[in-house]
Every structure is written in structure tokens, then in C-alpha cells.
Amino acid sequence: MLDFRPHLGINQRGHLTLGGADLVELAEKYGTPLYVYDEQRIRQRYREFRDAFAGYGDVLVCYACKANTSLAVLSILRHEGAGADIVSEGELYLALKAGFQAEKIIFTGNNKSDRELERAVEAGVVINLDSLHELERLIEIVEAQKAEAKVSFRVNPEVSPETHPHLATGLRESKFGIHEELVLKAYERALSCSRLDVAGIHMHIGSQITKVEPYVEATRRLFDIMGRLRRELNLELEFADLGGGVGIRYSAEQPYITPAQLAEALLPVIEEKLAEHSLPRPRLLFEPGRYIVGDAGVLLARVYTIKATPYKKFIGCDAGFNLLLRPAMYGAYHEVVVANRAGEAPAEEVTVAGNLCESGDLLAKDRSLPRIEKGDVLAFLDAGAYGFVMASQYNSRPRCAEVLVNRGRAELIRYAEDFEDLAAKQLVPERLK
């Protein structure tokens, strides 16, 4: 557990620590369930990504906000100098609120509403277009508003990232991006509108990718398209955005790649393609989300019910897929640690169940864990990305609090919701009262 997660530790009391803070104490102080993030780990992972590509020169790492939109997390990355990759008007609102400069925000999304396009134009962020139809709608908007917009196009590079099918976004049949057959037409049309600054090209092939080859293949395609744009449209782009997707190690056995390995594989290919197509050096953008925040977060839950059936032993805790959806949605694996007895050897095989009325609400199946008792605190590791952001109030369970740890000191960054929040914004027609 600790070898590749240096931000975790076990203190003298045998308690699991994150960023130097005792997680059992945090569970007592703030109550469970609870999300906890380590600020220094987030900074370290961001820097690792940025530094891996520093040799290229002009690189901007745009944190993919969708992975974790807590304002404190966004603020950390804004302080680090990151840009932001956003996918909705809500993320635009949060990114601006966290202080990201509009020029460092790129708005991707495969199906933006007119209102989202209008807001993006008003805010002055880069708009990454996903279809010819979206382009036509944007042209109508900039003409009507007599405004300008900087745009890029998301290309569908038609490669398999060899990840979970729900996490593959650059397949030929995927809903994302513009296929090569159409992409020149899209750029030509965009160039015909003087209100658009046609600045970039983008791809994002998927998430939780653990091999460099799909990136290499897709990057070749992307730069070949840039070559065609130069030759056929005389267009030289300001930036090339290679997306996010670098996977993290949810378990010791799982294969993985590092940003340094990715840079080592990609940068020579990029140099080769720049020379082959006589292209000026574009700024390189990346959009990692999971890599930056994934292993910095844990979800804490307290054990209430121990239930031995003739077939399985279930450990019932006070969190379910309402708070951590990934196991139910993708069959994802999150390592579980009994935080108050973190060093203890496994003693039995159990399945950790959530508290929702759904048979799919199992957070960890058939795991070897120390003998668990009522009151134990379970830590679900690597829950910093696509954790809280996917939380819901299903079964009328208010969403939990979030805490940020910095060098051993913990601060609340989100209050837990209460029952009023379940009723907030709801209306009952007079006749039903």
C-alpha cells in the first residue's frame, strides 16, 4: 500500500495517515463519511507532469476540472500555474471563481448548448469544437454578438486506448471529436469567419490509460492532420492539445505509465512530425485530471454492520455508490485499508457493502482484510478523482464533507449537506399541501 503512495503512512498508533494527518482523528473530528485530500500530493503530481514535458519548451498543463471541482483543489492548481480544461457552464463558473485566467481555460464538450457557447464567448475562453454543427452555431453567436472567439477542433484520432470501454473516447465509433475526413472542412469553414481565431487542434483518447502506444499513434495522426492543414489551408496552429488520460495505480499489480515515460515516447515523435511537415512549434497542452488528483484523495467510512451469510461475509459501512460511484459504474477497484489498524495483516475475506438499496452497491468485493469490527474506519484509497464529483443524494443521503490536508494540518473545504439540502430547491404545488 505504501510503496507507491508516499503521501500515505502509518503512525505510532497504527493509524493510516494522509499528508501527515491521522485519518482516524479526522473521521472522529469531522464525522463519516468524509473525503480527505492531500494538498502537497496534488502539487507534486502537477509538477511531475509539467516537468516531464519541460524539455519541449512551451507547455501548458490544463487540469481537467471534471476529475475534482472542489474550489480548494482548483485553487491549488491555479496557484501552481495550471490552466483548466472544462466541459460545462458549471465548470466555467467554478474555474473562473477559483481565479483561473480565461486565456488559460479551454472549453471542451461534445454537445455544448447555445447558452454554453455564448457564455464561453463572453468569458473569452478557448472553445474546443466537437462538430461542424457546433461550429455553425458558434458562428451564428459571434456574428450576433459581434464578438470574437478563439477556437480549436477536437479530432477523433480513431485509436483504441485499451482501457475500460466507458473510458475510451477516441474510437472510430465514439461520439467525441471530428473524424479526419471532415476535419479540413471544419477548419476551412472556421477560417472563413473573420470573428474566429482558429488557434488549435485537440484530442483526448480516453481515461485510465496505462500504455504509451495509443498516445504515440494518436499523436502521429494529430500532427499529420496539422501537416495537411498547413499544406492545404496554409494554416499554422498556435497549440496542439493532447488531452488527458494518464492512468494511476489503483493496485500494485496494475500496469502504469509515468508522465516522464509519456514524454520520452511522445516528444521525439512530435519533433519528427514537426520536421516532416515543416511546422512551427505549437504550444503543447495536456489535460490530466486523474493523474493529478486521483491518489491524493481518500474516502473514509465507518463500519456499522457485520453480516456473515452462508456464502459471503459483508462489512456494511456508511458510504455507498452515492459517494463513490466508480466500483458500481466501471467495476473499478479501490484498495481498502482499515485506517485504525492500518498495519494489521489480512485475516479473512470480506465484501464491503454500501448502505444503498441496490445489489450493485458493493464498494470492494472479496477482499482479504484484517478482522473488521463495528466502529472501524475504512479508507477507500485513490478516490480523489471522479469521486465526490460523481456523488449524488440517492436514497436521500446528503453528500458528505470534504477536508484538505496540508503538511499534517486539516481544513474543512466543504460542509456536509444536511436534510434541508434534500428539500432545498423543491416546490410542492399549493393544492398538494
Ligand X SMILES: Cc1ncc(COP(=O)(O)O)c(C=O)c1O
Q: Is 104 one of the binding residues for ligand X (CB under 6 A)?
A: no
Q: Which among 27-35, 244-252, 260-268, 302-310 is the span making contact with ligand X, rule CB under 6 A?
A: 244-252
Q: Is 243 one of the binding residues for ligand X (CB under 6 A)?
A: yes
For the segment 325-384, give every residue that binds ligand X (CB under 6 A). none
Q: Which among 72-80, 242-250, 312-320, 369-377 is the span making contact with ligand X, rule CB under 6 A?
A: 242-250
Q: What's the closest the beta carbon of residue 63 comes to ligand X, in angstroms?
A: 9
Q: Is 290 one of the binding residues for ligand X (CB under 6 A)?
A: yes
Q: Is 357 marked active-site?
A: yes
Q: Which among 63-71, 181-189, 220-228, 262-270 is the span making contact with ligand X, rule CB under 6 A?
A: 63-71
Q: What's the closest the beta carbon of residue 172 comes to ligand X, in angstroms?
A: 17
Query: In 10 A of CB 180, how many CB atoms?
Result: 16
Q: Is 244 one of the binding residues for ligand X (CB under 6 A)?
A: yes
Q: What's the closest the beta carbon of residue 238 comes to ligand X, in angstroms?
A: 19
Nearer to ligand X, 244 or 354 (CB): 244
Distance CA 218, CA 203 (A): 8
Find the angle CA(190)-CA(191)-CA(193) to the nearest 5 degrees.
70
Nearer to ligand X, 291 or 321 (CB): 291
Q: Is 45 one of the binding residues for ligand X (CB under 6 A)?
A: no
Query: Which residues lie across from 305 on neighbouring strands?
Result: 316
- Kindly name the residue from 62, 317, 357, 400 that is annotated as catalytic: 357
What are the residues whose beta carbons fall under 8 Å from the beta carbon of 268, sequence distance 6 or more?
none
Going by their DSSP bridges, the two strands 8-10 and 16-18 should be labelled as antiparallel
Q: Is 200 one of the binding residues for ligand X (CB under 6 A)?
A: no
Q: Is 156 one of the binding residues for ligand X (CB under 6 A)?
A: no
The three grid cell numbers given for residue 228, joined into one nine-digit string: 495537411
Q: Is 219 one of the binding residues for ligand X (CB under 6 A)?
A: no
**Binds ligand X by CB under 6 A, chosen from 50, 78, 204, 302:** 204
**Binds ligand X by CB under 6 A, chosen from 207, 219, 351, 406:** 207
Distance CA 250, CA 271 (A): 33
The alpha carbons of the chain give a radius of gyration, in whole angstroms, of 23
* Binding residues for ligand X, total number by CB under 6 A: 17
Residues that bind ligand X (CB under 6 A): 64, 66-67, 85, 108, 204, 207, 243-246, 287-291, 385
